[in-house]
């Protein structure tokens, strides 16, 4: 009996230690679940964003981006675009390509960032940056990293195949004339 009394406190201490380990592991697991939930929400925001754009709702930009969000395209640009400018550019885009549709090929969410790999398709039916309507079907790919905080887009960096896009509108690359 005496020996049992001696061992029990020891057993209790060990159980506490094990219990604490479990709590730490549980807390870590809870944190990971919470992060995974935010990542899923963020992916849904990006999906919804492109869906709304394709419905002709350029104002989704004003809803989703914080007022001083910055957008860099190409990704290392030193002159970021504001949400207001993005709205204007988007309206111009959809005016020139009324059937513009985005197809999300892949969404990767990690922490506060979502990476979207997207293909955009449309028909050149209106003037676009002084290029008169060609009727050409365009298809271009882009990859964009969006940083999202509390359900709002705060920063994005994009690489888009502008060269391919321009060539599909009939533009040609020419070396500079020698002086």
Measured from the CB of residue 57, what is the shortest distance to other proteins in angstroms? 25
Cβ nearer to other proteins, comparing 87 with 89: 89
Q: With binding defined as CB under 8 A, does residue 163 bind other proteins?
A: yes
Q: Shortest CA distance to 47 belongs to which of 148, 139, 133, 126?
A: 148
Q: Which two tokens stand for residue 131?
A: 């290029």
Q: Shortest CA distance to 45 belongs to which of 113, 120, 121?
A: 113
DSSP code of 81? B
Q: Which two tokens stand for residue 3?
A: 């020996």
Cβ nearer to other proteins, comparing 17 with 101: 17
Residue with tokens 């509108």: 169
Alpha carbon distance 67, 34 (integer Å):
27
Q: With binding defined as CB under 8 A, does residue 9 bind other proteins?
A: no
Handedness of CA 51, 166, 108, 156 (dihedral sign): negative
Binding mask 76-95 for other proteins (x = CB under 8 A): x-------------------
Alpha carbon distance 46, 38 (integer Å):
12
Q: Which of 14, 31, 37, 66 binds other proteins (CB under 8 A)?
A: 14
Q: Which two tokens stand for residue 36?
A: 């995974």
User: Do residues 123 and 99 lie in contact, with contact meaning Cβ atoms separated by under 8 Å?
Assistant: yes
Q: Which of 31, 75, 82, 94 binds other proteins (CB under 8 A)?
A: 75
Q: Which of 67, 79, 150, 174 binds other proteins (CB under 8 A)?
A: 174
Q: With binding defined as CB under 8 A, does residue 110 bind other proteins?
A: yes
Q: With binding defined as CB under 8 A, does residue 54 bind other proteins?
A: no
Q: With binding defined as CB under 8 A, does residue 41 bind other proteins?
A: no
Residues forming contacts to other proteins in the complex (CB under 8 A) are: 3-4, 7, 10-11, 14-15, 17-18, 21-22, 25, 29, 32, 74-76, 105-106, 108-111, 113, 115, 117, 130-132, 134, 141-145, 157-164, 166, 169-176
């Amino acid at each position: 009996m005496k020996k049992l009394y001696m061992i029990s406190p020891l057993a209790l201490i060990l159980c506490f230690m094990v219990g604490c380990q479990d709590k730490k592991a549980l807390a870590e697991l809870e944190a990971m679940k919470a992060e995974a939930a935010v990542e899923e929400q963020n992916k849904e925001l990006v999906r919804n964003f492109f869906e709304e754009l394709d419905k002709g709702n350029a104002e989704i930009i004003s809803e989703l981006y914080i007022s001083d969000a910055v957008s860099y395209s190409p990704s290392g640009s030193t002159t970021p675009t504001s949400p207001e400018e993005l709205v204007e550019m988007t309206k111009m885009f959809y005016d020139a390509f009324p059937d513009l549709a985005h197809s999300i090929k892949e969404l990767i969410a990690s922490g506060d960032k979502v990476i979207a790999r997207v293909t955009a398709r449309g028909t050149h039916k209106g003037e676009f940056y002084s290029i008169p309507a060609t009727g050409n079907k365009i298809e271009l790919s882009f990859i964009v990293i969006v940083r999202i905080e509390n359900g709002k887009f705060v920063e994005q960096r994009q690489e888009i195949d502008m060269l391919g896009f321009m060539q599909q509108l009939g533009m040609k690359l020419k070396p500079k004339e020698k002086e």
